[in-house]
Amino acid sequence: MQKNVYEANLFLPKAGLVKLTWGNVSQINRDLGLIVIKPSGVPYEKMQEADMVVTDLSGKVLQGELNPSSDIPTHCVLYQKFPEIGAVVHTHSKWAVCWAQAGRGISAYGTTHADTFYGTVPCTRDLTQTEVEVDYEVETGKVIVETFNEKKLDPLAIPAVIVKGHGPFTWGDTPQKAVENSLILEEVAEMALHSEELASATECLLPGYLLDKHYFRKHGSAAYYGQF
């Protein structure tokens, strides 16, 4: 598991999704009750596989000499509340952060979006001052879960979220899939922003039947995209 997490973390800067140390990937082993995550604040070019930190499901360190990512409490909340997911990614990728700073979700404007996200990638509300001051990272996880619950969204159908004023989180069944979803989110975030420069948001919206076609040709029992 450490190797998978290490390699997934290294892909973030290669894909242009992070600068400096602005990102992290984790993976959960639910059978063993373990999470593996990137260490906090360690430059990617200096990071080693052995630096990956192993914690329990509450974020308590079980193995490793370094502190885990400061976002580990957020990851823990997502693993606890979204039991189907196996890995989580957080970045401060430029285009997704633009939407976070604007406080807007990313609507489905095209089939590139629809291939991965079955509808709008939501944006959370602002955290309150108390939430930020008392238990910031835990409350970040909670506001993500709150957003999905209030909007009645399936975290497997929309494996991403924009945290207001902060940035994106994505997830998947493996670290590699979660990173792929982060990369796709960044691409559609940029596409959506430029689309709104050319036409109104209403004019950009993808018809529901085309959203259905592109999402379900890749997902579900009737999927036919790719090799079987």
User: In degrees, to the nearest 5, what angle opens at C-alpha 77 toward C-alphas 71 and 82?
Assistant: 125
Distance between CA atoms of 153 and 137, rounded to whole angstroms? 22
- Closest of 115, 74, 66 to residue 91, by C-alpha: 74
| Amino acid at site 205 | L
Task: Work out whether strand 61-63 and strand 53-55 pair parallel, antiparallel, or are unpaired.
Answer: antiparallel
What kind and span of H or E run contains 182? Answer: helix 175-198
Distance between CA atoms of 186 and 13, rounded to whole angstroms? 13
Q: Which residues are marked as active site?
A: 115, 225
